[in-house]
Amino acid sequence: MPQNSDSEFSGKKIALCVSGGIAAYKAVEVLRGLQRSGCVVRVAMTRRACEFIQPLTFRALSGSHVIVDDYASDNPDPIAHITFSQTVDLFIVAPATANIIAKFANGLADDFVSSTYLASTAPVLIAPAMNTTMWHHSATQRNISMLQADGVHIIEPDQGEMACGTIGPGRLSDPDRIVATALEILSNDRRQQSRNLAGERFLITAGATREQIDPVRFVSNRSSGRMGFAIAEAAQLRGAEVAVVAGITTVSPPPGISVVRAETAEEMYTAVQDKISKATVFVAAAAVADYRPAHIENRKIKKTEDSLVLTLERTTDILQAIASSHRDGLLVIGFAAETENVVENAIKKLTQKNLDLVVANDVSRSDAGFDSLNNSVSLISRDRKTAVKLPLMSKRDVAHHVLDEVLRLRSLAKVSIATQQPAST
């Protein structure tokens, strides 16, 4: 198939691996979409995948030998799992069955695809597809979490009717979305290599706070810390110094990141105040409790009445406090988790708190937001209050878009300073 030689992705080498699910035929559309963007695609298949679609189809479209078994007599490269994996810019598995995901997560290498994964030094993108019950199973979710911790990019499956007749999450994500995510990863890889944030010092809040009611109960929210940690990881990869003040999180922080733990809103505010003087960029990604119990009981509240009334009081607004008292070139970025009038409410937050950038996300969506691998956000900056809406993508990819905005805002500030300088005589 003709390739787009003018594309920024022209000549990028992609390994497309197909495992044995009914959605295997959709991998053809992924192949063609990557080729249209200028990528060179090599295909590998599991034996079970060959029962759904023949290797000849992919060979005809890719123009290259399709590898199923590197010990096969027709394989031109007897150590293909090494040469195939270490000469590509991106390793994609679509569809990825529960079986291949389990192999990857646990380091098994009993076929060509799983051996190639272990030998790969390229970024990895996995698009799962399976029965809804299999997707929800604790073993599958545990394996997905393990892969994410290993740095693998995951495109969560779509909702819909399965081939088996069940309805729910499990359908392979749309091929166009898989291609778009793949190209975004290639772009991010370039950003990481450029280290274009060297010299910046990020202070990031992440996770949820807990406000105690009594010794066994508290007020909190569903924030997992994924988004804040994703920004921390991306900023570090791009050369910045990074420190995180984290509340309660359900995921582990990226390796090599300095993390200070803070359980309550006041503890987080104190920790931020302690570190803010060294920061050049403050990102408030934590979901901080707006209210806390006005009185904390020192004993467990007994269940005696039909109702219980708690008096709540406001906590310190960390974002507003930092934005109003620590400027001097500090970029201040906030998040607006909304369930309605998302952009409008985010613009109000941007203006009222005097932020440089606000990241608005609709947390009422079932496929994004709190404790999801993905997010769909709009970026609204002080210099342009119209929203830049991003499609649904991984939180890692959202993080890089936020960091691109940091670079853009820095560039604008330099231009502004230059234009204010008096001309030399």
Catalytic residue IDs: 164
Under a CB-based contact definition with an 8 Å cutoff, are residues 188 and 399 in contact? no
3-state secondary structure the chain: CCCCCCCCCCCCEEEEEECCCHHHHHHHHHHHHHHHCCCEEEEEECCCHHHCCCHHHHHHHHCCCCECCCCCCCCCCCCHHHHCCCCCCEEEEEEECHHHHHHHHHCCCCCHHHHHHHHCCCCEEEEECCCHHHHHCHHHHHHHHHHHHCCCEECCCEEEECCCCCEEEEECCCHHHHHHHHHHHHHHHHHHHHCCCCCCEEEEEECECCEEEECCEEECCCCCCHHHHHHHHHHHHCCCEEEEEECECCCCCCCCCEEEECCCHHHHHHHHHHHHHHCCEEEECCECCCEEECCCCCCCCCCCCCCCCCCEEECCCHHHHHHHHCCCCCEEEEEEEECCCHHHHHHHHHHHCCCCEEEEEECCCCCCCCCCCEECEEEEECCCCCCEECCCEEHHHHHHHHHHHHHHHHHHHHHHHHHHCCCCC
Under a CB-based contact definition with an 8 Å cutoff, are residues 268 and 286 in contact? yes
Pairing of strands 211-214, 158-161: unpaired
